[in-house]
Chain A
């Protein structure tokens, strides 16, 4: 008898647990969509399986929430598996939408992609633009001015102490301690490392003879840390540490004001957007394949050159039209002013809508999805 009671209680608890979450109120089809649903006339149902760049995760949380407010029956999943896996799964058909920190190579855009209809165009849009901050841990120092050459010499291990004459000369106002520099880099493959090394290669000239890659040059020493949070923890825990990480995560540490030419620029959403706006589009791509060729040598005093541009890759024509409608609707929200502002607020990114030309091209590419 006692055993039966125990089992009954267990069943009751599980039944209670498997009910809906309080914030997931079951909706029925007849309810009219809320008035705020401006970009979608029809109510959609279904699941979008997306994944890839982990840099976009927080932004997708914001986009998903905003999108689901007007489309409560659509579930959007975003796996932060990394850009390479995202592109691979998009090719295989595992994802119908992929996030990637590196655009697809030009000779790969023709496909074939499993989720796309045969002969479909590829849609590739810069959805997430974010500054990469160079954070450091020096007691009482909130900001330092360093130019590309100095940054390259620090990260290549050539400058090993904070009171090195070259750093002191660039920061005469700051009292720099006699402390060793611990340069921290990412141990895993990362779009952040790719953009950081690309910046050094473009802007530091001969001071950075190393390759531009997603993995940190193996010939260099320094401390390795896993993922953005690893770098963040390492900087916070190590006096004298310096490392590069997404600007939204560089809280509670000093950050570098990057010198370019005669001027120096601190990282901000506006300065990152300015760098993207001042860069040309990559040539030789179709009108729906919008890829920015970042120019990291601008000296206008407004552009912050260490910028990560992360793309979303989708089909122009989906094999399944229902999926096409879901993706089009979601991407429509992602690139809208509201969507970009949500991401800016929640993930600290810089809205692409700041640049009307670019966002016009992107909106046109998304509008063509079916």
Chain B
């Protein structure tokens, strides 16, 4: 039986109106996204060549050059940031869900909420001030950049992992207790395998939060036109900073700079896409594993 027969004309009209409005909203939301993708792809296409992925900007004047140093810098700094954030963020989330009682978890949750809204430039300034005080003026390094980005990523990892851990059904914990398992066994053998794929997703969410950050890196990682693979010393370029500097400080050949900036933007989007796909793959691989 078709349910519309039972509806009055007025309700049918309202139904149709709502459907149109909701579908329209979806299309409206898609317009800027599609527009952005089309613009970046069409403008970034000009320099999407082999040289862009094999050259740095060292010794390049005007046309040509590439962004391999910035791509490597982005990968390295993002990896370092993740390495800092995962133990701290996931550890905090486990504490909050499994151990936290009394006032401390409330304070932590409040601070995390405040940190989530921390403007990125503030994180950069803070780390800048600390680094200058410890290592002397003018110090720049990839690790300092990773430290600044960690301030932005940790709250994201904590809140998302906490939600994932809270989703683990209580009856699993109760069953484990009933079997006489210790707290540590429950966390490592019951909760962890159950939550792992969700936690990987939470970390990826954090990575996506920081991979496009410019302001803190501009302050503490600086930028260079040469390759630098040493996180602990020297300036390290990243793609967002590369885009900014290509756009902001142009030589007389304007098109060469514009094209490099657009292609770097396209590469950055591609990098985020690769991360997203990789995270899906990891989630699939880890969740299909038989639970011990």
Consensus secondary structure, chain A interface: helix
A346 to B250, CA, bound (A): 10
Contact among A49, A77, A347 with B251 in the assembled complex (CB-CB below 8 Å): A347
For A93, give the chain B residue with the smallest CB separation. B137
Instruction: Report chain B residues within 8 Å CB of A62.
Output: 61, 251
Number of B residues, CB within 8 Å of A: 43
Name the A residues within 8 Å of B76 (CB-CB): 18
- Any chain B CB within 8 A of the CB of A300? no
| Given A17-B68, A94-B138, A251-B254, residue A77 in contact with residue B61 (CB < 8 A) | no
CB neighbours of B75 from chain A (8 A): 14, 17
| B110-134 Cβ-contact flags toward A at 8 Å (1 or 0) | 0000000000000000000000000
| Contact A92:B137 (CB < 8 A) given known A21-B58, A61-B225 | yes
Is residue B192 contacting chain A, with contact meaning CB distance below 8 A? no
Q: B227–A21 contact, CB under 8 A?
A: yes
Which residue of chain A is the closest to B71 with respect to CB atoms? A17
* Most chain B CB inside 10 Å of its own CB: which residue of A22, A89, A345: A22
Nearest chain B residue, comparing its CB with the CB of A229: B248
* C-alpha spacing A178/B278, complex, angstroms: 59
Whether A77 lies near B285 (C-beta < 8 A) is no
A94 to B131, CA, bound (A): 12
Q: How far is the CA of A45 from the CA of B62 in the complex (A)?
A: 25
- A213 contacts the other chain (Cβ, under 8 Å)? no
Chain A residue with Cβ nearest B64: A23
Q: Which residues of B contact A54 (CB under 8 A)?
A: 248-249
**B253 pairs with A6, CB closer than 8 A:** no
Q: For residue A301, give the distance in angstroms from its CB to the closest CB of chain B.
A: 26
- Does the CB pair A47–B61 fall under 8 Å? no
Chain B residues, CB < 8 A from A66: 61
The answer to whether A347 and B59 touch across the interface, beta carbons within 8 angstroms, is no
| Chain B contact residues, majority secondary structure | loop
Contacts of A24 in B (CB 8 A): 56, 58, 226-227
Number of interface residues of A (CB under 8 A): 44
Known: A18-B72, A93-B136, A228-B248. 17 other contacts (CB 8 A): A3-B285, A17-B75, A18-B76, A20-B227, A21-B56, A21-B66, A23-B54, A23-B66, A47-B234, A54-B248, A57-B245, A58-B251, A58-B252, A64-B225, A92-B138, A248-B251, A249-B250
A-B pairs with beta carbons under 8 Å apart, 27 shown: A14-B75, A17-B68, A18-B72, A20-B227, A21-B54, A21-B69, A22-B55, A23-B54, A24-B56, A58-B250, A61-B57, A62-B251, A64-B225, A65-B58, A65-B60, A68-B59, A75-B226, A79-B222, A79-B223, A80-B248, A80-B249, A114-B137, A229-B248, A229-B250, A248-B251, A251-B254, A346-B251
Residues of A within 8 A of B (CB): 2-3, 6, 14, 17-18, 20-24, 47, 49, 54, 57-58, 61-62, 64-66, 68-69, 75, 77, 79-80, 89, 92-95, 114, 227-229, 248-249, 251, 342, 345-348
Binding site for A on B (CB under 8 A): 51, 54-62, 65-66, 68-69, 71-72, 75-76, 136-139, 222-227, 229, 234-235, 245, 247-254, 281-282, 285
